[in-house]
Chains A and B, each alone.
Chain A
């Protein structure tokens, strides 16, 4: 059983005291971020990215992954207790969760959410462990042409599954691609789009953009609509779920896990989409759909299982193909890069301890979340009463130190402030900044692979349709584009995201 041996190797790596500690810190920090509204996981990871530079690679990545799935967990706690989803992925949890809390069943809702998440996390972790080697073996046969088609498909699919206007998302991706080209051209040595600034010859740092667009811009927008203080906390009862709750929810957890694991794999999928889909599926298959929204336990169990499963399984494309599927994974990709690891099929063969260590740590992290957080719920809730006025100076300071510490340059901080203003303008224009990061990360990869393909074929683009994998991907891309133009599909897509807006 090679698979088990490798998993054991992973557990050996993840169980060292230091890595266990970073896993715990990450999970706790993630929960904290998830609980506090106004700080998203994207911004947090952007802030902490430079800090992980000082840690060993695996420890840094374990901690960042912990923040990511911890945030899914924390977001649901506040969704249930105060009807205030900390993250977009727990918006639907608030629908039934808060109603349960008002009926004095908060403890049951939280326990079901935690246990459902843990189960989903376990399944998704195994999915990564099983799918990883298979998919990366498959990916090893990819040539540059396949990568170009895969990236085109991924970028386009990401815009469709993300919320907001598709055209705007495409525009943001293009802008991201453009930003990725700033600096010295890798192939010809020509300097591009640098305004003649020496500091830009090496390109723009991912962290500068991420902190500017997510950190600084988010602080400014949040300050514009202050007055979010004074939340009423539903009374917390320490009730273990009843046998009835368990009976009603186990099927929902199973369905949620399935949907979540699958949707997490898709480009642009991820936790938010998964929780919405799981909730609507539950409503469809339920024998009492009219009761949804009044505090049914399935309405908590399914989306919670789904968002956790998706959060985990969205690591699969990154770890096996080296292609991030959403902006959180774009963050993780740059975290790997900081440590000199290029995610992709070769990691599994050359550095198996990184892959399996991360997989094992995810499972441990999920366990830690259940064991530690249920008793800590009271503390998290009290944190909600901390006003934003006291929080944002701290976030501001961490952002500034993070950007500055990369190269000790004034230039980077000023540039990040500039991206903050740009990010603010995009927010006013109702443009989701997430796709920008995806474009920025994939830009150089896309260009290099496109050049390589064209060089091999001496400028003959027919290679893209001659290679079967590439052709499949391109056909899928064309189908997506056609669907987008069809008005009936556009309408369904808008409806699917309507609950999110509400």
Chain B
């Protein structure tokens, strides 16, 4: 089944296993100082530890059979949308607090548009202006979201 030269192993399933086991172990480490308690008086560490152990177990159950299955590759990751969108969101969070809604919204739409290479500048700028005006009117003015409009 596997294409020549490709590795063995169901990669999406292995990634799943990695995520589950990683999260489970992280949870176990973080809850190590919490009191486990007893069945009658469960401490704060009771449920987290049980859930984490189960999560690791499920991770192993998914991962081990996947090692032996014929190779399945993970869909290609395209870095551009991933990075651009994340940076745009984080930038918005800081801008909206310090520079006000208008700057933040313009930044989000313009920077976010770079995630799709097909956009034209004129459309992007028009869209940014329109969405910012709409957001300012609906969210800040009408719905009363507590954000300054302009840099303070």
On A, residues with C-beta under 8 Å from B are: 51, 54, 165, 167-168, 170-171, 174-175, 177-178, 181, 185, 187-188, 190, 192-193, 195, 216, 219-220, 223-224, 226, 388-390, 392-394, 396-397, 400-401, 404-405, 408, 410, 413-414, 416-417, 420-421, 424-426, 428-431, 447, 450-451, 454-455, 457-459, 461
Contacts and interface: CB of A to CB of B under 8 A. Distances in A.
A219 B115 CA distance: 10
A167 B39 contact: no
Contacts of B54: 174
Contacts of A167: 58, 61-62
Interface in B30-60: 30-31, 34-35, 38-45, 47-48, 51-52, 54-55, 58-59
- Chain B interface category by residue count: 35 or more
A257 B44 CA distance: 46
Given A181-B51, A413-B89, A171 B12 contact: no
A177 B54 CA distance: 11
A459 B109 contact: no
A400 B92 contact: yes
Contact of A193 (B24, B31, B81): B31
B48 A193 contact: yes
B75 A455 contact: no
B152 interface: no
B16 A171 contact: yes
A200 to B, nearest CB: 11
Contact of A400 (B24, B40, B81, B108): B108
A195 B54 CA distance: 21
B12 A429 contact: yes
A192 B55 contact: no
A401 B97 CA distance: 12
A458 B20 contact: no
B90 A178 contact: no
B81 A220 contact: yes
Interface in B52-96: 52, 54-55, 58-59, 61-62, 74-75, 77-78, 81-82, 85-86, 88-90, 92-94, 96
Contacts of A223: 78, 81, 85, 115-116
Nearest to B18: A429
A254 B74 CA distance: 43
B150 interface: no
Contacts of B115: 220, 223, 392
A428 B112 contact: no
Given A392-B112, A396-B89, A190 B35 contact: yes
A401 B15 CA distance: 32
Contact of A396 (B40, B82, B96, B112): B112
Contact of B42 (A396, A404, A451): A451
A389 B124 CA distance: 9
14 contacts: A175-B20, A190-B43, A195-B30, A216-B89, A223-B116, A397-B131, A400-B92, A401-B139, A408-B147, A417-B93, A429-B19, A450-B47, A454-B41, A461-B39
A426 B12 CA distance: 9
A501 B31 CA distance: 40
A396 B128 CA distance: 12
Contacts of A414: 89-90, 93
A400 B93 contact: yes
A185 B33 CA distance: 14
A167 B16 CA distance: 10
Contact of B34 (A192, A389, A451): A192
